[in-house]
Structure 1
Amino acid sequence: MKFSVVIPVYKNEASIQRLLEALSSMNRQLDGEMEAVFVVDGSPDQSFALLRAALDQLEFSAQLLAHSRNFGSFPAIRTGLEAARGDCFGVMAADLQEPPELLIAFFKALSLDECDVAIGTRTGRNDPFASRLASGLFWGLYRRLVVNDMPEGGVDVFGCNRIFRDQLLKLEESRSSLIALIFWLGFRRKLVSYERIERKEGKSSWTFSKKVDYMMDSIFAFTDYPIRLLIRIGVVGCMLSAALGMLVLATHLLGRIPVPGYAATMVVVLFFGMLNLLGLGLVGTYAWRGYENSKRRPLAVTSITVRNQK
């Protein structure tokens, strides 16, 4: 087989039948060279039972894996990529909000060696207004401050070749963002635009708490910007507190502050308050450097090696 489709599954029993039909259609478009790797991520519904019952009747090769509990979609994708046996790999959502045609476009680009990783970028999404607003705000700030190459609408699915897959799996980080790691690795990228489809079955398991965890992992695993911001605030604050302190002292000497001890209290509070911020930023910088070393990411990644035949 040439193409492996990795599908993390969690609370998707209502869409299983439609998912299998879509995969069968994809397999026919890919000349029967496709395998599906289902990873049931501790789903409490009947998703695993439905997939196991249908496994032997499928017209395409398939693997069914089950996590011992719910670890999250990114660990499920990693599990699927490790088990996949193809030459090209694609990630597909079990709720089919990303159209199957997107995976076909990924595999076509990878087969023609146009890229090492193909990334789906949303041009539109049929989600509630509040969800679209929050997503747009987060990805806009993330693109500006953390990963400059991140598409404006963020990324949910991707496809890659074996070289990229192998390098991605070498990055074993427990609290990280798989999507941000894709951009950290580099390689040749191709962006494939699509419009996200409205969810037809069930309710999304992407809860607010999971979104917050994802946001924290995406930020703190890839940038020291909050620490640098703290240092800048501390430096500017120290200068402002010095200026305000001089102003308070001058006002006190001119006899315009009748309250005893007011000038000294204000100078001490302003100065040491900003000094604390500066100190926290400096200590945080050393902590960040230790954290960076503990992640054990390679200092460089080689994507192509060419040798002569002598």
Structure 2
Amino acid sequence: MKYTVVIPVYKNEASIPRLLEVLSDMGHQLGRQMEVVFVVDGSPDQSFAMLKASLHQLDFPAQLLLHSRNFGSFPAIRSGLAVARGEYFGVMAADLQEPPELLIAFFVALANEEYDVVIGTRESRNDPYFSRIASGIFWSLYRKMVVPDMPEGGVDVFGCNRAFRDQLLKLEESRSSLIALIFWLGFRRKLVSYERLIRQEGKSSWTLKKKIDYMMDSIFAFTDYPIRLLIRIGVLGCIMSMALGAGVFIAHVSGRINVPGYAATMLVVLFFGMLNLLGLGLVGTYAWRAYENSKQRPLAVVALNISNSREGALSW
């Protein structure tokens, strides 16, 4: 197979019949060189049973994986990529909110050998107003604190070649962010904008709680922003406490403060309170560096190695 489509499935039984029709049409467009890997992520509905019953009737090669429980969409994607047999890989949502043409565009760009990873970024979305507002805030914070290169519309789907897939699977981190890892790896990257379609069946399982958990995982796995913020607050607080302490001391000497012990108490509380924040930030910096080493990410990733030997080898 030249192309592999990985589809995580969770509570998608209503959209499966339409999904299989779309995939059959995609297979024709890709010259019958496409396989599909369905990864049912511990779905409590009939998604697995429906796919299992349809598996031998499909007109394209397919694999069906079942997780022992719900681990999340990103672990499901990793499971699918690990067993995929193609040369180029694309991730597609089972709810069909991403147009099938987007995956075709991914594969065309990858097959031309101009890019290693292609990322779909939402230009617009036909979602409820409050959902669009919440998504905008979420991805804005993500750009600010985690991945500055993140597109404004966020990322839901991507495609990559085998070299990128292999490097991505080597990063075996729990409680991390697959999307942030994609940007961390680098390689030759292309953004493809699209309009997210209206969800026709079911409802999204991407709840507010999952979004908060995902944001926290991304922050703690990819940035020391909270620690640096703590240090800045500590330094600023120490400066402010010294200024306020000087004011309290002057007021005490000039006789404006008559309460016994008030000046000394305020000086101690202000100064050592902010010094405590600064100390926590400094200790946190050392802890962050130790945590970074524990993830065992490579110091660098070689994307291309060109040799001037007789064979003129070109290896990835």
Q: Settle same-fold status: TM greater than 0.5.
A: yes
Structure-2 separation of matches of 1:120 and 1:25: 21
Q: CA deviation at 1:304?
A: 0.6
Alignment of 1:183 onto 2:183: yes
Q: CA deviation at 1:147?
A: 1.4
Alignment-derived partner of residue 265 in structure 1: 265
Structure-1 separation of matches of 2:222 and 2:281: 17
Alignment-derived partner of residue 314 in structure 2: none
Alignment of 1:247 onto 2:247: yes
Alignment of 1:300 onto 2:300: yes
Structure-1 separation of matches of 2:192 and 2:261: 66
Q: CA deviation at 1:144?
A: 3.0
Alignment-derived partner of residue 25 in structure 1: 25
Q: CA deviation at 1:104?
A: 0.3
Structure-1 separation of matches of 2:245 and 2:158: 55
Alignment-derived partner of residue 43 in structure 1: 43
Q: Residues 1-310 of structure 1: matches in 2 within 5 Å?
A: 1-310=1-310
Alignment-derived partner of residue 313 in structure 2: none
Q: Give the partner amino acid of 1:131.
A: S
User: Which residues of structure 2 form unaligned runs of 5+?
Assistant: 311-316
RMSD value over aligned CA atoms?
A: 0.9
TM-score of the aligned structures, taking structure 2 as reference length: 0.96
Structure-1 separation of matches of 2:100 and 2:259: 74
Structure-1 separation of matches of 2:211 and 2:252: 52
Q: Which runs of 4+ in 1 moved over 3 A?
A: none
Q: CA deviation at 1:138?
A: 2.2
Structure-2 separation of matches of 1:198 and 1:185: 32
1:210-246 CA-to-partner distances (Å, cap 9, x unmatched) read: 1111000111111101101100110110011011001
TM-score of the aligned structures, taking structure 1 as reference length: 0.98
Q: CA deviation at 1:145?
A: 3.3
1:49-69 CA-to-partner distances (Å, cap 9, x unmatched) read: 000000000000000000000
Q: Give the partner amino acid of 1:288.
A: W
SS at match of 2:194: strand
User: Which residues of structure 1 form unaligned runs of 5+?
Assistant: none
Q: Give the partner amino acid of 2:62.
A: A
Structure-2 separation of matches of 1:222 and 1:145: 9
CA contact (8 A) 2:145 2:219 kept: no
CA contact (8 A) 1:52 1:64 kept: yes
CA contact (8 A) 2:8 2:73 kept: yes
Q: Percent identity?
A: 78
Q: Give the partner amino acid of 2:63.
A: Q
CA contact (8 A) 1:126 1:198 kept: yes
Q: Give the partner amino acid of 2:260.
A: P
Structure-1 separation of matches of 2:152 and 2:146: 13
CA contact (8 A) 1:114 1:190 kept: no
Q: Choose 16-25 or 120-129, whichever is displaced more.
A: 120-129
Structure-2 separation of matches of 1:272 and 1:130: 44
Work out the number of aligned pairs and report it.
310
